[in-house]
Structure 1
Amino acid sequence: MITIKESITYYSGLQQLSFGVLLIVAVIVVCFSLINLVNTTITNFLSRRQEIGMLQAIGLSKKQLIKMLCYEGLMYSVFATLVTLVLGTGLGFLSVQVVVKTMNPYFYYSFPWLIVLIYLAILLIVQFTLISYTTGNLKKQSLVEQIRTME
Protein backbone atom coordinates (compact mmCIF):
# COMPACT_ATOMS: atom_id res chain seq x y z
CA MET A 1 0.00 0.00 0.00
CA ILE A 2 1.33 3.43 -0.95
CA THR A 3 1.42 6.11 1.71
CA ILE A 4 0.49 9.73 1.13
CA LYS A 5 4.09 10.79 1.73
CA GLU A 6 5.36 8.43 -0.98
CA SER A 7 2.68 9.68 -3.35
CA ILE A 8 3.64 13.31 -2.69
CA THR A 9 7.32 12.51 -3.25
CA TYR A 10 6.53 10.69 -6.51
CA TYR A 11 4.34 13.49 -7.89
CA SER A 12 6.79 16.19 -6.79
CA GLY A 13 9.55 14.45 -8.74
CA LEU A 14 7.35 14.23 -11.82
CA GLN A 15 6.40 17.87 -11.45
CA GLN A 16 10.03 18.99 -11.22
CA LEU A 17 10.94 16.91 -14.26
CA SER A 18 8.03 18.31 -16.28
CA PHE A 19 8.81 21.85 -15.20
CA GLY A 20 12.47 21.42 -16.14
CA VAL A 21 11.64 20.13 -19.61
CA LEU A 22 9.13 22.91 -20.23
CA LEU A 23 11.59 25.53 -18.97
CA ILE A 24 14.30 24.30 -21.34
CA VAL A 25 11.86 24.44 -24.27
CA ALA A 26 10.82 27.97 -23.25
CA VAL A 27 14.43 29.16 -23.05
CA ILE A 28 15.16 27.74 -26.50
CA VAL A 29 12.09 29.46 -27.97
CA VAL A 30 13.08 32.78 -26.37
CA CYS A 31 16.61 32.50 -27.77
CA PHE A 32 15.30 31.79 -31.27
CA SER A 33 12.81 34.65 -31.05
CA LEU A 34 15.58 37.09 -30.07
CA ILE A 35 17.82 35.80 -32.87
CA ASN A 36 14.93 36.22 -35.31
CA LEU A 37 14.29 39.76 -34.08
CA VAL A 38 17.96 40.71 -34.53
CA ASN A 39 18.05 39.12 -37.99
CA THR A 40 14.85 40.85 -39.10
CA THR A 41 15.93 44.25 -37.83
CA ILE A 42 19.43 44.15 -39.32
CA THR A 43 18.20 42.77 -42.66
CA ASN A 44 15.55 45.47 -42.80
CA PHE A 45 18.13 48.14 -42.03
CA LEU A 46 20.61 46.88 -44.63
CA SER A 47 17.98 46.64 -47.34
CA ARG A 48 16.72 50.16 -46.58
CA ARG A 49 20.07 51.90 -46.29
CA GLN A 50 19.68 53.61 -49.67
CA GLU A 51 16.14 54.68 -48.80
CA ILE A 52 17.31 56.17 -45.52
CA GLY A 53 20.09 58.01 -47.37
CA MET A 54 17.56 59.48 -49.80
CA LEU A 55 15.33 60.58 -46.92
CA GLN A 56 18.31 62.27 -45.27
CA ALA A 57 19.21 63.95 -48.55
CA ILE A 58 15.79 65.59 -48.75
CA GLY A 59 15.86 66.77 -45.16
CA LEU A 60 15.37 63.93 -42.65
CA SER A 61 17.25 64.89 -39.52
CA LYS A 62 19.15 62.47 -37.27
CA LYS A 63 16.58 63.03 -34.56
CA GLN A 64 13.74 62.13 -36.92
CA LEU A 65 15.66 59.08 -38.16
CA ILE A 66 16.22 57.84 -34.62
CA LYS A 67 12.55 58.43 -33.84
CA MET A 68 11.53 56.49 -36.96
CA LEU A 69 13.82 53.59 -36.11
CA CYS A 70 12.54 53.58 -32.50
CA TYR A 71 8.94 53.38 -33.66
CA GLU A 72 9.75 50.56 -36.07
CA GLY A 73 11.61 48.71 -33.33
CA LEU A 74 8.75 49.18 -30.92
CA MET A 75 6.33 47.85 -33.53
CA TYR A 76 8.47 44.72 -33.92
CA SER A 77 8.64 44.38 -30.14
CA VAL A 78 4.91 44.84 -29.65
CA PHE A 79 4.13 42.26 -32.33
CA ALA A 80 6.62 39.80 -30.83
CA THR A 81 5.16 40.39 -27.38
CA LEU A 82 1.60 39.85 -28.56
CA VAL A 83 2.51 36.64 -30.34
CA THR A 84 4.44 35.47 -27.30
CA LEU A 85 1.64 36.24 -24.89
CA VAL A 86 -1.16 34.77 -27.00
CA LEU A 87 0.59 31.66 -28.29
CA GLY A 88 2.85 31.18 -25.29
CA THR A 89 0.07 31.43 -22.74
CA GLY A 90 -2.19 29.17 -24.76
CA LEU A 91 0.46 26.54 -25.37
CA GLY A 92 1.63 26.75 -21.77
CA PHE A 93 -1.89 26.20 -20.48
CA LEU A 94 -2.44 23.29 -22.89
CA SER A 95 0.89 21.73 -21.86
CA VAL A 96 -0.09 21.91 -18.22
CA GLN A 97 -3.46 20.32 -19.01
CA VAL A 98 -1.69 17.45 -20.76
CA VAL A 99 0.56 16.96 -17.74
CA VAL A 100 -2.48 17.03 -15.43
CA LYS A 101 -4.28 14.37 -17.46
CA THR A 102 -1.31 12.09 -18.04
CA MET A 103 1.17 12.37 -15.18
CA ASN A 104 0.26 14.58 -12.28
CA PRO A 105 -3.30 15.55 -11.31
CA TYR A 106 -1.93 18.11 -8.82
CA PHE A 107 -0.03 20.13 -11.43
CA TYR A 108 -1.52 23.61 -11.95
CA TYR A 109 -1.01 26.56 -14.24
CA SER A 110 0.01 29.97 -12.99
CA PHE A 111 0.91 32.80 -15.32
CA PRO A 112 4.68 33.50 -15.14
CA TRP A 113 4.58 37.27 -14.65
CA LEU A 114 8.22 37.55 -13.62
CA ILE A 115 9.47 35.60 -16.64
CA VAL A 116 7.30 37.64 -19.01
CA LEU A 117 8.59 40.90 -17.54
CA ILE A 118 12.19 39.70 -17.84
CA TYR A 119 11.51 38.70 -21.46
CA LEU A 120 10.05 42.14 -22.20
CA ALA A 121 13.03 43.85 -20.60
CA ILE A 122 15.47 41.77 -22.65
CA LEU A 123 13.42 42.42 -25.78
CA LEU A 124 13.53 46.18 -25.26
CA ILE A 125 17.25 46.12 -24.43
CA VAL A 126 17.98 44.18 -27.63
CA GLN A 127 15.79 46.53 -29.65
CA PHE A 128 17.44 49.70 -28.35
CA THR A 129 20.88 48.13 -28.84
CA LEU A 130 19.96 47.45 -32.46
CA ILE A 131 18.75 51.02 -32.89
CA SER A 132 22.00 52.40 -31.52
CA TYR A 133 23.94 50.02 -33.80
CA THR A 134 22.03 51.09 -36.90
CA THR A 135 22.30 54.80 -36.17
CA GLY A 136 25.98 54.41 -35.34
CA ASN A 137 26.49 52.56 -38.61
CA LEU A 138 24.78 55.38 -40.49
CA LYS A 139 27.02 57.97 -38.83
CA LYS A 140 30.12 56.16 -40.11
CA GLN A 141 29.04 56.49 -43.73
CA SER A 142 28.64 59.67 -45.66
CA LEU A 143 25.31 60.52 -47.22
CA VAL A 144 26.68 59.91 -50.72
CA GLU A 145 27.90 56.41 -49.73
CA GLN A 146 24.48 55.58 -48.31
CA ILE A 147 22.70 56.67 -51.48
CA ARG A 148 25.14 54.75 -53.69
CA THR A 149 24.66 51.54 -51.70
CA MET A 150 23.16 48.93 -53.96
CA GLU A 151 20.66 46.46 -52.52
Structure 2
Amino acid sequence: MVMEGRVSEDLTPRYYALCAIGGMLSAGTTHLAITPLDVLKVNMQVHPIKYYSISSCFTTLLREQGPSVLWKGWTGKFFGYGAQGGCRFGLYEYFKGVYSNVLVDQNKNFVFLLSSASAEVFANVALCPFEAVKVRVQAQPCFAKGLFDGFPKLYASEGTRG
Protein backbone atom coordinates (compact mmCIF):
# COMPACT_ATOMS: atom_id res chain seq x y z
CA MET A 1 0.00 0.00 0.00
CA VAL A 2 1.47 3.39 -0.99
CA MET A 3 0.88 6.31 1.38
CA GLU A 4 2.19 9.83 0.77
CA GLY A 5 5.01 8.63 -1.49
CA ARG A 6 6.22 6.05 1.02
CA VAL A 7 5.54 2.37 1.26
CA SER A 8 3.72 1.26 4.39
CA GLU A 9 5.28 -1.45 6.54
CA ASP A 10 2.75 -4.13 5.55
CA LEU A 11 4.53 -4.81 2.26
CA THR A 12 6.34 -7.91 3.43
CA PRO A 13 7.70 -10.93 1.56
CA ARG A 14 4.53 -12.75 2.69
CA TYR A 15 2.38 -10.09 0.99
CA TYR A 16 4.39 -10.37 -2.23
CA ALA A 17 4.14 -14.16 -2.09
CA LEU A 18 0.36 -13.97 -1.66
CA CYS A 19 0.13 -11.62 -4.66
CA ALA A 20 2.27 -14.02 -6.68
CA ILE A 21 0.14 -17.01 -5.68
CA GLY A 22 -3.01 -15.11 -6.59
CA GLY A 23 -1.50 -14.26 -9.97
CA MET A 24 -0.42 -17.85 -10.54
CA LEU A 25 -3.86 -19.23 -9.78
CA SER A 26 -5.80 -16.62 -11.72
CA ALA A 27 -3.62 -16.61 -14.84
CA GLY A 28 -2.91 -20.34 -14.82
CA THR A 29 -6.54 -21.40 -14.46
CA THR A 30 -7.98 -18.93 -16.95
CA HIS A 31 -5.45 -19.90 -19.59
CA LEU A 32 -5.99 -23.57 -18.82
CA ALA A 33 -9.71 -23.11 -19.48
CA ILE A 34 -9.09 -21.82 -23.01
CA THR A 35 -6.62 -24.56 -23.97
CA PRO A 36 -8.95 -26.04 -26.65
CA LEU A 37 -9.17 -22.67 -28.41
CA ASP A 38 -5.41 -22.26 -28.16
CA VAL A 39 -4.87 -25.69 -29.75
CA LEU A 40 -7.03 -24.61 -32.70
CA LYS A 41 -5.28 -21.23 -33.00
CA VAL A 42 -1.77 -22.70 -32.90
CA ASN A 43 -2.56 -25.37 -35.48
CA MET A 44 -4.21 -22.84 -37.78
CA GLN A 45 -1.12 -20.62 -37.52
CA VAL A 46 1.35 -23.45 -38.10
CA HIS A 47 -0.65 -25.23 -40.83
CA PRO A 48 -2.76 -22.51 -42.51
CA ILE A 49 -3.43 -24.46 -45.71
CA LYS A 50 -4.55 -27.62 -43.94
CA TYR A 51 -6.65 -25.74 -41.36
CA TYR A 52 -8.33 -22.90 -43.23
CA SER A 53 -11.11 -22.27 -40.70
CA ILE A 54 -11.89 -22.94 -37.06
CA SER A 55 -14.45 -25.58 -37.95
CA SER A 56 -12.13 -27.38 -40.39
CA CYS A 57 -9.36 -27.36 -37.80
CA PHE A 58 -11.68 -28.65 -35.09
CA THR A 59 -13.16 -31.50 -37.16
CA THR A 60 -9.85 -32.54 -38.74
CA LEU A 61 -7.97 -32.60 -35.43
CA LEU A 62 -10.77 -34.60 -33.78
CA ARG A 63 -10.89 -37.09 -36.64
CA GLU A 64 -7.10 -37.51 -36.88
CA GLN A 65 -6.07 -37.38 -33.22
CA GLY A 66 -9.21 -37.78 -31.11
CA PRO A 67 -10.82 -35.54 -28.47
CA SER A 68 -7.75 -35.49 -26.22
CA VAL A 69 -5.98 -33.37 -28.83
CA LEU A 70 -7.95 -30.35 -27.59
CA TRP A 71 -6.08 -30.50 -24.28
CA LYS A 72 -2.56 -30.92 -25.71
CA GLY A 73 -0.21 -28.48 -24.09
CA TRP A 74 -2.38 -27.87 -21.05
CA THR A 75 0.59 -28.22 -18.70
CA GLY A 76 2.52 -25.55 -20.60
CA LYS A 77 -0.45 -23.21 -20.43
CA PHE A 78 -1.18 -23.83 -16.76
CA PHE A 79 2.39 -23.65 -15.46
CA GLY A 80 3.66 -21.12 -18.02
CA TYR A 81 0.88 -18.62 -17.55
CA GLY A 82 0.94 -19.40 -13.84
CA ALA A 83 4.60 -18.32 -13.76
CA GLN A 84 3.75 -15.27 -15.84
CA GLY A 85 0.84 -14.32 -13.58
CA GLY A 86 2.89 -14.88 -10.45
CA CYS A 87 5.64 -12.60 -11.72
CA ARG A 88 3.17 -10.05 -13.01
CA PHE A 89 1.18 -9.73 -9.77
CA GLY A 90 3.96 -10.29 -7.23
CA LEU A 91 6.63 -8.23 -8.92
CA TYR A 92 4.21 -5.40 -9.73
CA GLU A 93 3.59 -4.94 -6.00
CA TYR A 94 7.29 -5.26 -5.25
CA PHE A 95 8.34 -2.73 -7.89
CA LYS A 96 5.55 -0.39 -6.84
CA GLY A 97 7.08 -0.30 -3.36
CA VAL A 98 10.62 0.15 -4.65
CA TYR A 99 9.76 2.88 -7.15
CA SER A 100 7.50 4.70 -4.66
CA ASN A 101 10.45 5.00 -2.30
CA VAL A 102 12.96 5.96 -5.00
CA LEU A 103 10.74 8.29 -7.04
CA VAL A 104 9.08 10.08 -4.13
CA ASP A 105 8.17 13.25 -6.01
CA GLN A 106 6.91 11.51 -9.16
CA ASN A 107 3.31 11.21 -10.24
CA LYS A 108 1.73 8.00 -8.89
CA ASN A 109 0.62 7.03 -12.39
CA PHE A 110 4.23 7.09 -13.56
CA VAL A 111 5.26 4.86 -10.64
CA PHE A 112 2.44 2.43 -11.46
CA LEU A 113 3.34 2.42 -15.16
CA LEU A 114 7.01 1.79 -14.44
CA SER A 115 6.14 -0.94 -11.92
CA SER A 116 3.84 -2.65 -14.37
CA ALA A 117 6.35 -2.49 -17.22
CA SER A 118 9.15 -3.84 -15.03
CA ALA A 119 7.03 -6.74 -13.77
CA GLU A 120 5.84 -7.56 -17.29
CA VAL A 121 9.41 -7.95 -18.55
CA PHE A 122 10.11 -10.62 -15.95
CA ALA A 123 6.68 -12.20 -16.46
CA ASN A 124 7.19 -12.66 -20.19
CA VAL A 125 10.69 -14.04 -19.76
CA ALA A 126 9.25 -16.58 -17.29
CA LEU A 127 6.56 -17.57 -19.81
CA CYS A 128 8.79 -18.03 -22.88
CA PRO A 129 10.23 -21.52 -22.24
CA PHE A 130 6.79 -22.89 -21.36
CA GLU A 131 5.25 -21.35 -24.46
CA ALA A 132 8.02 -22.75 -26.70
CA VAL A 133 7.30 -26.29 -25.50
CA LYS A 134 3.52 -25.81 -25.58
CA VAL A 135 3.48 -24.70 -29.21
CA ARG A 136 5.58 -27.67 -30.29
CA VAL A 137 3.40 -30.09 -28.31
CA GLN A 138 0.25 -28.65 -29.91
CA ALA A 139 1.51 -28.36 -33.48
CA GLN A 140 3.85 -31.35 -33.78
CA PRO A 141 1.97 -34.51 -32.73
CA CYS A 142 5.13 -36.60 -32.30
CA PHE A 143 7.20 -33.97 -30.47
CA ALA A 144 6.21 -34.78 -26.87
CA LYS A 145 3.22 -35.60 -24.70
CA GLY A 146 3.50 -32.50 -22.58
CA LEU A 147 5.68 -30.12 -20.67
CA PHE A 148 7.67 -32.60 -18.62
CA ASP A 149 8.95 -34.66 -21.53
CA GLY A 150 8.94 -31.64 -23.87
CA PHE A 151 11.46 -29.53 -21.93
CA PRO A 152 14.30 -32.08 -22.14
CA LYS A 153 13.50 -32.79 -25.78
CA LEU A 154 13.53 -29.09 -26.70
CA TYR A 155 16.76 -28.52 -24.82
CA ALA A 156 18.42 -31.54 -26.45
CA SER A 157 17.45 -30.41 -29.95
CA GLU A 158 17.89 -26.63 -29.68
CA GLY A 159 19.72 -25.83 -26.45
CA THR A 160 18.87 -22.78 -24.38
CA ARG A 161 17.96 -20.81 -27.51
CA GLY A 162 15.04 -23.17 -28.16
Give the TM-score taking structure 2 as reference length. 0.36
Give the TM-score taking structure 1 as reference length. 0.38
Q: Which has the higher contact order (CA 8 A, sep 6+)?
A: 1
- Higher-Rg structure is 1
